[in-house]
């Protein structure tokens, strides 16, 4: 059995900018009005015979949507994004901790973005595929102990008509 949550109707949405470095058309800063769908498979259990409470699933997804909303998503482990650094310090989330600006280049283009305008992703790409995995990882942490769940699937849609779905068995 499964529960399904439709991100448009359940208001699991965010609007963000991103860039897919070196891609023909997506290599320029652009944005999407994203929405996030979820499908959770399992067996009803507990006092209400739920697979999992809709409320818990929506809360987890919405927390990430709020972090991403109205920000530019920057994947810090992308091989094409060269972050400006005066040291040979490793690039990880800690590297940006006390910085006000995110400075980087992609081939000949140079960028300087206030950190407050950005959300730094510990990922290689800000593609719908990677974002779907990111949401799934958080959802597993938040709900895997709350019911008899056998799989979690998350769809991150870049507007209506195209999205990436990631499914993982628990």
Q: Return the active site residues.
A: 26, 70, 158
The CA dihedral of 85, 89, 90, 96, to the nearest 10 degrees, is -60
Q: How far is the CB of 22 from Zn ion (least distance, A)?
A: 13
Which phi and psi (to 5°) does residue 60 adopt?
A: -60, -45
From the CB of residue 3, how many other CB atoms can be counted at a distance below 10 Å?
18
Cα distance between residue 109 and residue 121, in whole Å: 20
Nearer to Zn ion, 26 or 91 (CB): 26
Q: How far is the CB of 30 from Zn ion (least distance, A)?
A: 6
Nearer to Zn ion, 26 or 62 (CB): 26
| Residues making contact with Zn ion (CB under 5 A) | 26
Residues sharing a CB contact under 8 Å with residue 89, sequence separation 6 or more, in sequence order: 95
Closest by CA position to 143, among listed 105, 170, 162, 117: 170
Q: How far is the CB of 168 from Zn ion (least distance, A)?
A: 24
Nearer to Zn ion, 37 or 41 (CB): 37
Nearer to Zn ion, 12 or 128 (CB): 128
Residue nearest to Zn ion (CB): 26
Residue 30 has which token pair? 């652009």
């Amino acid at each position: 059995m499964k529960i399904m949550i439709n991100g448009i109707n359940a208001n699991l949405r965010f609007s963000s900018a991103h860039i897919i470095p070196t891609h023909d058309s997506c290599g320029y800063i652009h944005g999407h009005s994203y929405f996030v769908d979820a499908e959770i498979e399992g067996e009803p259990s507990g006092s209400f015979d739920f697979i999992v409470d809709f409320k818990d699933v929506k809360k987890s997804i919405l927390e990430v949507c709020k972090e991403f909303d109205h920000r530019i998503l920057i994947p810090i482990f992308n091989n094409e994004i060269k972050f400006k650094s005066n040291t040979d310090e490793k690039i990880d989330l800690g590297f940006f901790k006390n910085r006000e600006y995110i400075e980087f280049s992609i081939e000949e283009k140079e960028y300087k973005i206030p950190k407050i305008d950005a959300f730094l992703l510990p990922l290689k790409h800000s593609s719908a595929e990677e974002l779907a995995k990111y949401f799934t990882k958080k959802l597993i942490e938040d709900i895997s102990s709350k019911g008899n769940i056998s799989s979690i699937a998350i769809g991150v849609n870049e507007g209506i008509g195209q999205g990436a779905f990631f499914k993982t068995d628990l």
